Chain A
Amino acid sequence: MNASTSETQVPFTTIIGLEVHVQLQTLTKLFCGCSTAFGAPPNTQVCPVCLGLPGSLPVMNQRAFRLALKAALALDCNIASFTKWDRKNYFYPDLPKGYQISQFDLPFSTDGTLEVIDPKGTIGPCRVGIVRVHLEEDAGKSMHDETAGSGDTRIDLNRAGTPLCEIVTQPDLRSPQEARLWLNELKLLLVYLGVSDCNMQEGSLRVDANVNLHIPQPDGRIAKTPIVEIKNMNSFRSVERALVYETTRQWGVWQETHAEMGKTPKQTRGWDDPAGVTRAQRHKEESSDYRYFPEPDLVPVTVSSAQQAAVRSEMGEPPVRVRKGLETRWKISAYDADVLVNQGRQLVDYFEELATLIGDGKIASNWLQQDVLRTLNERGGTIEDFPVRPAALAELIARVNAGDFDTSRAREIFSEMLASGRSAADAVLSMGIAVIGDDELVALCRDILAANPKIVADVKGGKEQAAAGLIGHAKKKNPNINPGKVRTICIDLIRAMQ
């Protein structure tokens, strides 16, 4: 539904804003010392505080605050010098205190931006404003088992009290594709900074989207369709699909009803991934009266500019700077830099180590993309435990550069290195590849020339491509020869005959 992807101009603009919750990478919960590790048996990571037992009191996790601050700084937010927490009151069985400790009127950061540039150039640069970033606690998990027929909802409070950073964007996104691209960049940023692992399967990143259409009217007025909030999207692909579906649905509804924003209340719809549709969720009128008030069990937090500077200094490079850095330092294309950076900080570190060792970014990038990443995709695993370390790969590449063997031979050696964990030299030995000395190679070439006068005559006659025929003969004599070298030597020898 976007001009740049569909090529056909649609008669409306899609307006999208996102609300993202990311779990901060802490060992313990926001207000107690219970572990945040994923996958523990139900109700084993709970204590009086996160169970909301009578008399229990919260104490804020300093690391959670610092990580949230890091995220806000990386998103170019203004950091409030004074911030406090509020209680958001509502009843739900996964919320044992009957309120969520969140931030209402004085979030610790506001007014940021995150820009993303599509390296393929299909989507223009999109600069998305951040309304606010705040720190709050997560709820537990409730499961309704329909099949058991018991009618009970089961509650696991392991997740209750997990630190979350809520990031709310301005409605600055203009297409589902842009939303997905932007989310990818946000995720990459937060992973690079060590703020969150952003694992959507484990619930450490969750996205809700607000979407509506702006439709220019013949009289010049812009009609706005009612805003719909979409929930339950569990991958960025789902976000894109749900937004595409919702955009089409809203356009259809508009054409039928001409219903505009404000005349109907904001609707919440859930994304049904298998069915590929959004469905209206029940709207509860009083549930929106959260009766926020300042949390009296916590004290406010102040952030000085020195503290901001300290967090900034330990922040590390955001992906956008890493991409630029790779482009300028290693003379690789924006596209290549993007591919490498999107694989994560560890792969970039691998790349930089390799590129430094061989002194060539382009070759390093090619090896990484064609061989290392392909292998990782096939075998799974992470770059940190990839068996061929940069030094070993650099040794192999150096031998290729030295002309010891050609690329296809090098790939075979690389496979052997992968399988055995051997160095390039050891792999060469174990594969029985004897490197032929230059004198030996020249002698071999002379023998071939002597045995193939017709080819020699052809080359002499100006048909240099005929030399290719010599390589086959050379390979028969010795499979370890470097074809490129054989070709050069033969041509040199033939020229010397004239």
Chain B
Amino acid sequence: MQPADLSAIDLVAAVRQGDLSAVQCTEAFLNRIQYCNGAINAFLNVDRAGALACAESIDVRRRSGQPLGPLAGLPVAVKDALCTADLPTTAASKMLENFRPPYDAFVVSRLRQADAVIVGKTNMDEFAMGGSNENSAFGPVHNPWDFSRAPGGSSGGSAACVAADMTPVAIGSDTGGSIRQPAGLCGITGLKPTYGRVSRRGLIAFASSLDQIGPMARSAADCALVLETIAGHDPGDSTSLTDAVPRYTSLLEQPLAGVRVGRVPEHFAAGLDPEVAKGVEEAFAVLKAAGATVHDIAMPHAKYGVATYYLVAPCEASSNLARYDGAHYGHRASAKPSSAFESPLIEMYCRSRAEGFGPEVKRRIMLGTYALSSGYYDAYYAKALKVRRLIRQDYLDAFEHVDLIGGPVSATPAFKLGEKTGDPLAMYLVDLYTVSTNLAGVGGISFPCGFTKSGLPIGFQLQAPALGEPLLLRASDRFQRLTDWHLRRPPNLTALCTPKG
């Protein structure tokens, strides 16, 4: 049996028992990356030497009987939005092309402490802004199910990486759907935890009140395994929750009998692809078969989610990205004195940012700057915050009646690369089903619930109240015990990939 055929849970057990060395395991995935990544472009940076050295040290310690961490020998790919002290961290931006963080993100430290093997940094939309991974300064990611299609975004590299078996698990971040949507479009499982469950320290900020790091894997059970390691209080993040972290993997056994799942009829309005609608309805049927009950619920402000999100997130982003000005790190434009600016410093700022940021990042900075500026603050930013409260109230009200909310994760299966790049607004509407989760600060998970006739994965999303991760994972795991969608692999992937190097 090849390591790529094992779940993360089984891989960790095999390494622990000595059936598989960490080096063998790491090499197998590194070889797969070497083979596939050229065609998929999921990685911005692969740390072959570092990963093998780490694996070797794990094997040495195992052989000498020293204790091993809970993820010992598990290869993990990390979205390039998380700082790694020994690897470049670019957020897929030209701005940070040569940036080296002097520290590890909290989640990266946790992974290292757990003896996971970090194999590299994954591609993404620049600064996590986008839903197709086409906004990367280092080229788009190709969906392993159809190379002509987008993997979704912004954690498209992490999603494609897992979908193509280049690592068993990956770390993503989700500000408005950036874990769940690419997971859905790539046929894997992705969890966006409750806001504050996983420390954001070392995550390059997009929108601080919405950003959350989470695991991406083939199954909910594997997500549970990784979440156990990366969740938990961090005194270095003021917004990190202090609640104890449950043993998610041990909470999967309880059946779903009596669990109430909400269904929002408006989710099935015009715009939802019929094949997606069919897959989603079938997923409700599977949950019923597992013992859950399904109830129609109202989310009256759901339709304002995208508009609210596209004010809140750009406003925060315009401020979060102000630090990229060429002064202390990052891209600095070379001096070309011009009379258009009032000082050499301002010219340096304006040109460095113009050269360092891609078009979507610029649009969002402009939008956020506008919406916060004098005279517009109340009409846009303050208004969005009020609607944000109404949206959260919808969730609070809904969770009075149901334990989970189910539905589509995106309106269509993976779309063609280039299909939406000319129309920023069309791209924003891709986030329709995912942004409200972040606005409310609750948790959500997505996993495959079927395939289109043309063989593209269809994603299903579940959302739970704050700190409802045990139920999200349990319901998804139960679903995955009854179905095999999550075990499907892109056909002919090996043949389609042309080995590089």
Q: Which residues of A contact B (CB under 8 A)?
A: 48, 51-60, 87, 89, 91, 93, 96-99, 151, 153, 155, 157, 289, 291-293, 296-299
Q: How far is the CA of A53 from the CA of B377 in the complex (A)?
A: 27
Choose from B103, B316, B323, B374 the contact partner of A289 (Cβ within 8 Å).
B374
Would B238 and A54 count as touching, CB distance under 8 A? no
Q: How far is the CA of A242 from the CA of B345 in the complex (A)?
A: 30
Q: Which residue of A lies closest to B96 (CB)?
A: A54
Q: Which stretch in B63-71, B201-209, B409-417 binds the other chain?
A: B201-209
B104 to chain A minimum Cβ distance, whole angstroms, is 10
Would A291 and B323 count as touching, CB distance under 8 A? no
CB-CB under 8 A from A58, the residues of chain B are: 238
Choose from B83, B89, B99, B315 the contact partner of A293 (Cβ within 8 Å).
B315
Q: Which residues of B contact A (CB under 8 A)?
A: 82-83, 89, 91, 96, 99, 101-103, 105, 200-205, 207-209, 235-239, 315-316, 318-319, 321-323, 325, 327-329, 344-346, 349, 369, 372-374, 377, 381
Would B322 and A91 count as touching, CB distance under 8 A? yes
Choose from B96, B202, B322 the contact partner of A99 (Cβ within 8 Å).
B322
Given contacts A54-B91, A93-B327, contact A291 B372 (CB under 8 A): yes
Would A297 and B204 count as touching, CB distance under 8 A? no
Interface centre among A96, A153, A155, A298 (most CB of B within 10 A): A96
Q: How far is the CA of A293 from the CA of B318 in the complex (A)?
A: 11
Interface centre among B203, B322, B325 (most CB of A within 10 A): B322
Would A155 and B209 count as touching, CB distance under 8 A? no
CB-CB under 8 A from A157, the residues of chain B are: 328
Would B101 and A98 count as touching, CB distance under 8 A? no
Would B372 and A52 count as touching, CB distance under 8 A? no
Main secondary structure of the interface of A (DSSP, over half): loop
Choose from A56, A289, A298, A299 the contact partner of B373 (Cβ within 8 Å).
A289
CB-CB under 8 A from A60, the residues of chain B are: 238
Given contacts A54-B323, A97-B322, contact A293 B328 (CB under 8 A): no
Would B328 and A52 count as touching, CB distance under 8 A? yes
Choose from B83, B237, B325, B327 the contact partner of A54 (Cβ within 8 Å).
B83
CB-CB under 8 A from A296, the residues of chain B are: 207-209, 239, 316
Choose from B105, B344, B374 the contact partner of A151 (Cβ within 8 Å).
B344
Would B372 and A293 count as touching, CB distance under 8 A? yes
A236 to chain B minimum Cβ distance, whole angstroms, is 33
Could you write out 16 A-B pairs with CB less than 8 Å apart?
Answer: A48-B101, A54-B89, A54-B91, A54-B205, A55-B101, A55-B105, A56-B201, A57-B200, A57-B236, A59-B237, A99-B322, A155-B328, A157-B328, A289-B373, A291-B373, A296-B316
Q: How far is the CA of A296 from the CA of B322 in the complex (A)?
A: 15
Q: How far is the CA of A289 from the CA of B105 in the complex (A)?
A: 33
Choose from B315, B329, B374 the contact partner of A53 (Cβ within 8 Å).
B329
B207 to chain A minimum Cβ distance, whole angstroms, is 8
CB-CB under 8 A from A153, the residues of chain B are: 345
CB-CB under 8 A from B101, the residues of chain A are: 48, 53-55
Q: How far is the CA of A357 from the CA of B328 in the complex (A)?
A: 60
Q: How far is the CA of A190 from the CA of B458 in the complex (A)?
A: 65
Would B203 and A59 count as touching, CB distance under 8 A? no
Given contacts A96-B328, A98-B322, contact A293 B381 (CB under 8 A): yes
CB-CB under 8 A from B322, the residues of chain A are: 89, 91, 97-99
Would A298 and B205 count as touching, CB distance under 8 A? no
Q: How far is the CA of A57 from the CA of B106 in the complex (A)?
A: 11
Q: How far is the CA of A87 from the CA of B323 in the complex (A)?
A: 13
B349 to chain A minimum Cβ distance, whole angstroms, is 6
Would B203 and A93 count as touching, CB distance under 8 A? no
Q: How far is the CA of A469 from the CA of B101 in the complex (A)?
A: 89
CB-CB under 8 A from B235, the residues of chain A are: 59
CB-CB under 8 A from B315, the residues of chain A are: 293
Q: Which residue of A lies closest to B199 (CB)?
A: A57
Choose from A93, A96, A155, A297 the contact partner of B208 (Cβ within 8 Å).
A297
Q: Which residue of B lies closest to A94 (CB)?
A: B327
Q: How far is the CA of A263 from the CA of B289 in the complex (A)?
A: 76
Choose from B103, B325, B381 the contact partner of A48 (Cβ within 8 Å).
B103
Would A87 and B319 count as touching, CB distance under 8 A? yes
Q: How far is the CA of A374 from the CA of B381 in the complex (A)?
A: 62
CB-CB under 8 A from A48, the residues of chain B are: 101-103
Would A93 and B369 count as touching, CB distance under 8 A? no
Choose from B82, B318, B328, B345 the contact partner of A55 (Cβ within 8 Å).
B82
Choose from A57, A97, A99, A151 the contact partner of B238 (Cβ within 8 Å).
A57
CB-CB under 8 A from B204, the residues of chain A are: 54-55
